[in-house]
Amino acid sequence: MKNILLTFLLSLCSFSVLASGGTVVGNGAGAVESSFQQAYYSLEKIIPSCLAVIKCELADDERIEITKILSIVNRNANKKDRLVFLSEKLNPGFFTTGNSEVFRIAKTFLNPDAPIYINTDMLYKDDGQPAIKFQDIVRILVHELGHQTGIEDHASLDILGSKVASYSEDSTFYYRYKIEGEAAAVTFAVTNFDRPVKSTFVVFNWKDSKMQDLTGSILMASSCAYDSESYAGIEVTNGHFSFNYNGTLSFDAWVNVSCSESFSANINVYRRNLRIDLDSEFKLMNMTVK
């Protein structure tokens, strides 16, 4: 088995450093803004899996709609201004949409190429902590993307967004390590989908730092055992924390790699050990998959 050591350069590992990030006007990008970026790109995995399973409970018309939404997500994947973060306080009236609601947390237009505007005034509590969770962000994005397919009705998009968000949340396990004297916890969020193929994404977060998506690094380090095999899926399970000899914290888990034999189409599953080391300040330091 290969023993692959990846040294994390935090400036490269942050999820916000992608081909397409968001545009921020007024306020600097923070943890919740980063979560919006993570959620948008996660839709590329969440939606196909939701379409492939019964428990997502999509009606026939919802399946048609969510397929259109997936197409919009994919066609705009490389746009830098896909998500635009604005302050309502600095742009009075921008997020006012009607008498039934004072301000919206997000808005867009009935155009698949339009940006999705996020109201930064509603992302954080007074103490600076996030005001919304990841599944709420998924729901919001599905709703806004639904408008971009041409649907104006808010109620139906709220229902569709809630179904997709609930499915994503049910597929996610949060591994948290509470630090004494700190309100926040060191968190690894691991999401596994069984359909249409086994897929995973692993995200690290600590305090007010931006989410850091580790999925690509784990995939690169988790190759099949033989040249005659091809990658057929992956999942990360059995996560837990441990301490190193020097007292620093590590996150350990199993990486189950599914590989298809070219000559028989049989699926072989290889279990690898994932270890992610944090430094004394609980920042990502290195990772091994062996």
In sequence order, the β-bridge partners of residue 101 are 98
d(CA 163, CA 227): 40
HEC secondary structure over the chain? CCCEEEECCHHHHECCCCCCCCEECCCCCCHHHHHHHHHHHHHHHHHHHHHHCHHHCCCHHHHHHHHHHHHHHHHCCCCCCCEEEECCCCCCCCCCCECCECCCCEECCCCCCCCEEEEHHHCECCCCCECCCHHHHHHHHHHHHHHHCCCCCHHHHHHHHHHHHHHHHHCEEEEEEECCCCCCEEEEEEEEECCCCEEEEEEEECCCCCCEECHHHHHHCCCCCCCCEEEEEEEEEEEEEEECCCCCEEEEEEEEEEEEECCCCCEEEEEEEEEEEECCCCCEEEEEEC
pLDDT in tens, the chain (290 residues): 333 333 333 323 333 333 334 454 433 457 888 889 889 989 999 999 999 999 899 999 999 999 999 999 999 988 888 999 999 999 998 998 665 555 689 999 999 999 999 999 999 988 888 899 899 999 999 999 999 999 999 999 999 999 999 999 999 999 999 988 887 789 999 999 988 889 998 999 887 566 788 999 999 999 999 999 999 999 999 999 999 988 999 999 999 999 999 888 899 999 999 999 999 999 999 999 99
Q: What is the pLDDT of residue 184?
A: 79
Q: What is the pLDDT of residue 27?
A: 39
pTM: 0.80
Q: What is the pLDDT of residue 228?
A: 93
- Which candidate, 77, 256, 38, 76, places its Cα nearest to that of 168? 38
Q: Is the separation of the CB atoms in 268 and 281 below 8 Å?
A: no
Domain boundaries, the chain: 23-170, 172-289
Work out whether strand 212-213 and strand 199-205 pair parallel, antiparallel, or are unpaired: antiparallel
Q: What is the pLDDT of residue 15?
A: 33
Q: What is the pLDDT of residue 180?
A: 86
CATH architecture of 23-170: 3-Layer(aba) Sandwich (3.40)
What lies within 8 Å, CB to CB, of 64 at 6+ separation is: none
Task: Give me the residue label for tokens 């709420």.
Answer: 136
